[in-house]
Amino acid sequence: MRRVTARSALGELSEIGFLEIRTMARTGEIYVEDEILDPGVLSDVSTMARIYMISDVCHGFVYSSRRLRFSFGERNARKVLEWRWSASGPAGRRWIRSRFRLIGDGYSELLEDIVGAAVDDEG
């Protein structure tokens, strides 16, 4: 089992996010894994809004990951993830939580450790 770190979490979310955006751009359909979508949330009913939401969640991760590799440590990676969580709306937080559940390997526990036992954003 690989070591679960905030740095690896940023990479995992970036990779998943880019793949989902690519899939939705190709198919024109919303890509969903285990989330329960809310018809009242634009990013849950509009493909373009969902692409925007995922890109908004992931946009700083690649830059942060590059910087982390050279000059920042795990503590700063945790800060990046904590900030992204606090800056994301309910749909973004639901997406992050869902993807960590799918990855497994302790990422949900890492998220809870970083952001606390946050309110369930599942709806």
What's the pLDDT score for residue 62?
64
Q: Is the dihedral of CA 58, 33, 87, 5 positive or negative?
A: negative
Give Cβ neighbours of residue 112 (< 8 Å, ≥ 6 apart): 118
Residue 85: its H or E element: helix 74-87
Query: What gap in Å lies between CA 18 and CA 46, rounded to an integer?
Result: 17
Summary mean pLDDT of the chain: 86
With bands split at pLDDT 50, 70 and 90, how would you rate the model's confidence at 60?
Answer: confident
